[in-house]
Amino acid sequence: MAVYGSEERLRDDVEATRLINQDHKCQFNLARFAAPPIENLRVGYIGMGNRGLASIRRLSKIEGVEIRAIGDCYEYPITQARDYFASIGYPPPAEYYASEDSWRDLVARDDLDLVIVTTPQWWHAEMACGAMEAGKHAATEVPLAFTLADCWRVVETSERTKRHCALLENCCYDFFEAMTTNMALQGVFGELVYGAGAYIHYISPISRVFDEPMPPFSKKAGPYRTIMSVLEKGNRYPTHGFGPICKAMRINAGDRPDYLVSMETDDFVLRKKFEEVLKEGKEYHKQFVGKTFSSNLNISLVRTVGGKGLQVQWGQTSLRPYSRIHELSGLDGYVQKYPLPGRIYFGDEPVGEEQMRELEEQYTPELIKTQQENALKFGGHGGMDYICDYRLIDCLRNGLPLDITAYDAAAWSAITPLSLWSATHGSQPIPFPDFTGGTWKENPPLDLSLRGGGTTAVKAD
CATH classification at residue 200? 3.30.360.10
Q: Is 82 contained in some domain?
A: yes
What pLDDT was estimated at residue 271? 93
Q: Is 393 contained in some domain?
A: no
SS (H, E, C) the chain: CCCCCCHHHHHHHHHHHHHHHHHCCCCCCHHHCCCCCCCCEEEEEECCCHHHHHHHHHHCCECCEEEEEEECCCHHHHHHHHHHHHHCCCCCCEEECCCCCHHHHHHCCCCCCEEEECCCHHHHHHHHHHHHHCCCEEEECCCCCCCHHHHHHHHHHHHHHCCCEEECCHHHHCHHHHHHHHHHHCCCCCCEEEEEEEEECCCCCHHHHHCCCCCCCCCCHHHHHHHHHCCCCCCCCCHHHHHHHHHHCCECCCECEEEEEEEECCCCCHHHHHHHHHCCCCHHHHHHCCCCCCCCCEEEEEEECCCCEEEEEEECCCCCCCECCCEEEECCCEEECCCCCCEEECCCCECCHHHHHHHHHHHCCHHHHHHHHHHHHHCCHHHHHHHHHHHHHHHHHHCCCCCCCHHHHHHHHCHHHHHHHHHCCCCCCEECCCCCCCHHHCCCCCCCCCCCCCCCCECCC
Q: Is 214 contained in some domain?
A: yes
Q: Final residue of a domain: which of 171, 192, 209?
A: 171
Q: Which residues of the chain have pLDDT under 70?
A: 1, 220-229
Q: Is 392 contained in some domain?
A: no
Q: With CA atoms as reference, report the closest residue to 4 among 447, 13, 141.
A: 13
Q: How far is CA 276 from CA 207, 213, 294, 427, in A?
A: 9, 18, 17, 32
Same domain, 251 and 109: no
215: Cβ contacts below 8 Å, ≥ 6 apart:
none
Same domain, 345 and 414: yes
Same domain, 215 and 269: yes
What pLDDT was estimated at residue 162? 98
pTM (two decimals): 0.97
Q: With CA atoms as reference, report the closest residue to 350 among 187, 163, 176.
A: 176
- Nearest-5° Cα angle at 458, 452 to 461: 170
Q: Starting from the edge strand earliest in sequence, which strands make up the sheet with 137-140, in order?
A: 94-96, 65-71, 41-46, 114-117, 137-140, 165-167
Same domain, 259 and 123: no
Q: Is 460 contained in some domain?
A: no
Same domain, 262 and 129: no
CATH number at residue 68: 3.40.50.720
Q: Tell me how far apart the alpha carbons of residues 117 and 164 are, in angstroms, rounded to a whole number.
A: 13
Same domain, 105 and 34: yes
Q: Is 372 contained in some domain?
A: no
What pLDDT was estimated at residue 222? 63
Same domain, 90 and 212: no
Q: Final residue of a domain: which of 171, 203, 221?
A: 171
Same domain, 67 and 101: yes
Q: Is 279 contained in some domain?
A: yes
- Which domain range does residue 329 map to? 173-360+406-441
Phi and psi of 340, rounded to 5°?
Answer: -85, 170
Q: Final residue of a domain: which of 119, 141, 171?
A: 171
What pLDDT was estimated at residue 225? 59
Q: Are strands 334-336 and 327-330 parallel, antiparallel or unpaired?
A: antiparallel
Q: Is 103 contained in some domain?
A: yes
Same domain, 34 and 158: yes
Same domain, 346 and 411: yes
**pLDDT, tens digit, 9 for 90 and up, residues 305-330:** 999 999 999 999 999 999 999 999 99
Q: Tell me how far apart the alpha carbons of residues 417 and 149 are, in angstroms, rounded to a whole number.
A: 10
Same domain, 349 and 313: yes
Same domain, 119 and 199: no
Total domains present in the chain: 2
Please check whether residue 434 is in contact with residue 21, taking contact to mean a CB–CB distance below 8 angstroms.
yes
**pLDDT, tens digit, 9 for 90 and up, residues 439-451:** 999 999 999 999 9
